[in-house]
Chains A and B, each alone.
Chain A
Amino acid sequence: MEFAATLQDGLRRDPLTATTMAIIVIICLVAIFGPFVASHDPLATNPSIALKPPTWEHPCGTDQVGRDICTRIVYATRLDLFIALSAVGLGLIIGGLIGSLAGFFGGIVDRLAMWIVDTIMAFPLFVLAMGIVAALGNSLENIIYATAIVNVPFYARTMRAEMKQRREMGFVEAARVSGNGPFRILAVHLVPTAVPQLMIQATLTMGWAMLNAAALSFIGLGIRPPTPEWGIMVAEGASFIITGEWWVALFPGMTLVLVVLSLNLVGDGLRDVLDARERR
């Protein structure tokens, strides 16, 4: 509750973070309810209106087979948010587990965990994700697994640092003396204290996870056309850029940038708020 109060206080002083948070809420609402109010079918083709620039009827124009781009963006928002949320969630669970065990127990556990983390980090991460999807097979789940794996190092490191810093503190000793086992101390007393830091890390990496997943489908991995997804839509529009049909790639691309930018700004804002609290 104390965190919520500082957050509220911080947001009042930081209108940019508050605005971007509002944008994220709107985007989430679009992802959830958008498909119910969208006026067109995202897959319905109509060759007679192919590649038409934006009009009132089609605010973002139509693509090469006459589908309404605006509707497709709305449906894509749902899919892209789903991918990013599940990848980050899965990554948080795995990374949090590795990091907390490593930071709390130290020694050989720590060295093994850090070896895993360093090995993942030794790859350019998008390339590793590419290799994983190529090896596991081209599917939505595998995009999520690959994106989760390349995010694990960030959560594991954050969690490890938090655990290391706190494991010698008085409240841990107190819990130990009153007869709690190490796993209980970790799960009940230590891990919850790291939640704010982990949440900030999650917000900061969520945007990156989105870029990563969109880039994977941009190069033709994972989700396949005609499924509406931002990366695929930009890829489909790429060939029309040099002939001047800019709207096919621009609108889905701008949506992706807007969402990622908002997430990054919120992540930065939250970090500043938390840093300020710790300094006080």
Chain B
Amino acid sequence: MFPLLRSVIKRVAFAVPTIFGVVLVSFALTRLLPGDPAVYFAGAAPTPEAIADIRKAMLLDRPLLEQFVSYVVNLLHGDLGKSLITGQPVVKDLAARMPATLELTGLSLLIALLVSIPLGVIGALRKGSLIDHAARFFSTTALSMPSFFTGLLLVFVFYYLLGLAPAPLGRIDPLGLPPPVKSGLIVIDGFLAGDYESVTDGLAHLVLPSIALALSGIGPLTRITRGAMLTVLSSDFIRAARSYDMPRWRLVYVYALRNAMLPVLTTAGFVFSFLISANVVVEKVFSWPGIGSYALQALVASDYAAVQGFVLSVALLYVLINILIDVLYGIVDVRVRLAE
């Protein structure tokens, strides 16, 4: 366990300059506002007292460096400011809405992986065949579809035309009773409470938005899987295994695929950032009560603390995911493990 801990520390240390950059950018974004930032943070119809309070809290009369230091100190205390629309601390709002977003993003990443890995493997095994071309065309098309439009198309076909999906209005039927909150994920909470009606209702509401999201990740993941499989299949150890007359399924699905998974893992991190981005528009289309739609409400109401709090926390989440992937990579890849 000790070397693992060391490699985690090493990766976190490696991410420090990036985290510093992210904080610097998000600080800049709160100070770039044209005119007086305090007026912006005070909202649509500010009272002079509110502006004075905010100016004091943001230290706007002090030198920039001092403002930055106090910004960082506030961050370390988990303080992202107060939201104007809810009157709550932004951190609290984001935390309350995070499960809805994670549920959606997690499921769509899973769907994207389940579709693109087989597609990429088939493409690599039958390079140049009709299936390969079809898979490539499909993944390029998926990459070219804006998720807000895919979402609308899915709603039109599966809700309006076929009546198979529920109305695109949130996570659960408006008349239904959500299960008691434990994990915040409706499907899991439903299982825990033995409330299977909530489970099926939650799943039914999840299907369309997660497919709309997943499509934006399928393009890059399929390409990477195909490329990685092609590289691995032409490598020496596969040729050797072939000469030993190993069964083909074992060769492909155990030896080759396992080695091809490393670049796929790295790309999955990148795809996560894609999905978090696409999440914002998909949540709008499906009225999904996650952090993306929270940020959009905040945008409309000129609630800057909430918007910039969202931008920063999403970026930090993404940095965290990348650290996690790096650590995983170290565990999976023997070469990295040996080099350390």
Which A residue's beta carbon lies closest to that of B26? A131
The answer, among B19, B29, B299, for a CB contact under 8 Å with A220, is B299
Q: Contacting A119 at CB < 8 Å: which of B21, B29, B299, B310?
A: B21
> Quick check: B22 and A257 within 8 Å, CB to CB?
no
A219–B147 CA distance with the chains assembled, in angstroms = 12
Residues of A within 8 A of B273 (CB): 123-125
- Is A207 within 8 A of B144, CB to CB? yes
Chain A interface size, under 10 / 10 to 19 / 20 to 34 / 35 or more: 35 or more
B146 touches A256 (CB 8 A): yes
For A260, the chain B residues whose CB sits under 8 A away are 144-146
- Nearest-neighbor residue (CB-CB) of B149 within chain A: A253
Min CB distance B307 to A, Å, is 5
Q: Is A1 an interface residue (CB 8 A)?
A: no
Contacts A118-B18, A122-B21, A137-B34 hold; do A242 and B300 have CB atoms under 8 A apart?
no
- Tally of contact residues, B, Cβ under 8 A: 54
Docked pose: A163 CA to B322 CA in angstroms: 28
Taking a contact as CB atoms under 8 Å apart, the answer to whether A127 and B149 are in contact is no
**A202 an interface residue at 8 Å Cβ cutoff?**
no
Q: List, in ascending order, chain B residues with CB within 8 A of A76's CB.
A: none
* Known interface pairs A134-B304, A241-B160, A264-B140; A221-B299 also in contact (CB < 8 Å): yes
B25 at the interface (CB under 8 A from A): yes
Which residues of B from 245 to 300 have beta carbons under 8 Å from A?
273-274, 276-278, 280-281, 284-285, 295-296, 299-300
Tell whether B336 is near chain A: CB-to-CB under 8 Å.
Answer: no
For window 303-330 of chain B, which residues contact chain A by CB distance below 8 Å?
Answer: 304, 307-308, 310-311, 314-315, 318-319, 322
* Proximity bits, A96-124, B CB within 8 Å = 1, else 0: 00000000000000000001101110111
Chain A residues closer than 8 Å to B67, beta-carbon distance: none
Interface residues of A (CB under 8 A from B): 115-116, 118-120, 122-128, 130-132, 134-137, 207, 211, 214-215, 218-221, 231, 234-235, 237-238, 241-244, 246, 249-250, 253, 256-257, 260-261, 263-265, 268
Given contacts A131-B308, A220-B300, 18 further A-B contacts (CB under 8 A): A123-B22, A124-B273, A124-B315, A131-B307, A134-B29, A135-B28, A135-B30, A135-B32, A136-B32, A211-B146, A215-B281, A218-B146, A219-B284, A219-B296, A220-B296, A238-B285, A257-B141, A260-B145
